[in-house]
Copies of this chain bind each other. A is one copy, B any other.
Amino acid sequence: VDGPEKAGLSWEQSYLPSFNLGGIFPPLATPFSPTQEVDYAQLEGNLRRYASIPFRGKHCPPSFSMQAPVRSLPATEAACRHTPHPFAPSPATQATIELTVSMAEAGADVALVVTPCYYRGAMTTAALIHHYTEVGDASPIPVVLYSVPANTGLDLPMEAVITLAQHPNIIGIKDSGGDITRMGLMVHKTRQEDFQVLAGSASFLLASYAVGASGGVCALANVLGDPLCQLDHLCRKGQWQEARDLQHRLIEPNMAVTRRFGIPGLKKAMEWFGYYGGPCRAPLAPLSPAQVEELRSTFSANGWL
């Protein structure tokens, strides 16, 4: 027995239209208290503030699910009470499967599964196809592939994506690499499948829609959720000129809260827009005053502050 049945899905479940990933998902930042404990009350507060934004769903932070799986469950439950959301487990195949089960029990609708990477030299196309096939077979919820070379040093090979797109319980990919040729080719080569491509960053969101992507999982959505949902809307309506102007103003702020200043930059910017940012856990270091100033000017120069 293979496929969804092995995972305990009935025929109806497995052939229902897959979970619709069209739209914007914020990968929620994990709020910590001043003593660096996860602050569930602040997470609830942020979720309340996000409730008015037309997000398609939310994405549980990797620091919960991937790096400290057991302790992440309460926070995941808090997130789950509000909205469907994918998440990001990791390394060994069996541990990843167990995590999809835990997350499904906590109410997650979709599992966002990052490429295993510690032994990246051994992560051949065949090994990655095998890993995701096992996870897809066993996961009680649909699986979204997650390729993020800046963190993992590994691009999920195109050949693996094309093969895995045929799996009935693998419904899409979040690709954070920013290679727009690859985005277009993934859409093109999976056009016969029920498979959705998501941009993994706000910097190339419009371009991704232009080549056929369905949505985006964007760190910047923690800060500028409404403009990102508006960009999604403009692209869907074909208002490309307005979309372009909006996209242009989002690139620098996005780069500032990702590549340039990372999580500490993201949390600082969240505070300017009414969300709880709070401290980061070591080894992530807080921004210096000069960096805060640079971050702020990036938002103000593009008309956001």
Tell me if A41 is interfacial: C-beta within 8 Å of chain B: no
Which residue among A68, A207, A259, A264 has the maximum number of chain B CB atoms within 10 Å of its CB?
Answer: A207
Tell me if A58 is interfacial: C-beta within 8 Å of chain B: no
Q: Which residues of B contact A153 (CB under 8 A)?
A: 153
- Distance of A252 Cα from B262 Cα, bound (Å): 33
Question: Which of B91, B116, B124, B240 has a CB less than 8 Å from the CB of A210?
Answer: B240
- Distance of A187 Cα from B180 Cα, bound (Å): 17
Q: Which residues of B contact A283 (CB under 8 A)?
A: 92-93, 116, 122-123, 127-128, 130-131
Interface size class of A (residues with CB under 8 A): 35 or more
Q: Which of A48-56, A101-109, A167-175, A243-251 contacts B (4 or more CB under 8 A)?
A: A243-251
- Distance of A94 Cα from B283 Cα, bound (Å): 9
Tell me if A77 is interfacial: C-beta within 8 Å of chain B: no
Tell me if A290 is interfacial: C-beta within 8 Å of chain B: no
Residue of B nearest to A128 (CB): B283
Instruction: Determine whether the beta carbon of A185 is less than 8 Å from that of B252.
Output: yes
Instruction: Determine whether the beta carbon of B285 is less than 8 Å from that of A126.
Output: yes
Q: Which residues of B contact A188 (CB under 8 A)?
A: 248-249, 251
- Distance of A178 Cα from B210 Cα, bound (Å): 15
Add 20 more A-B contacts to A116-B283, A184-B248, A187-B248 (CB < 8 A). A92-B281, A94-B281, A94-B282, A118-B151, A119-B151, A121-B150, A121-B259, A121-B262, A122-B264, A122-B285, A127-B285, A128-B283, A130-B283, A178-B180, A184-B203, A184-B247, A185-B248, A191-B248, A210-B210, A240-B240
Residue positions of A touching B, CB distance < 8 A: 36, 62, 67-68, 91-95, 116, 118-124, 126-128, 130-131, 134, 150-151, 153, 178-181, 184-185, 187-188, 191, 201, 203-204, 206-207, 210-212, 238, 240, 244, 247-249, 251-252, 255, 259, 262-264, 281-285
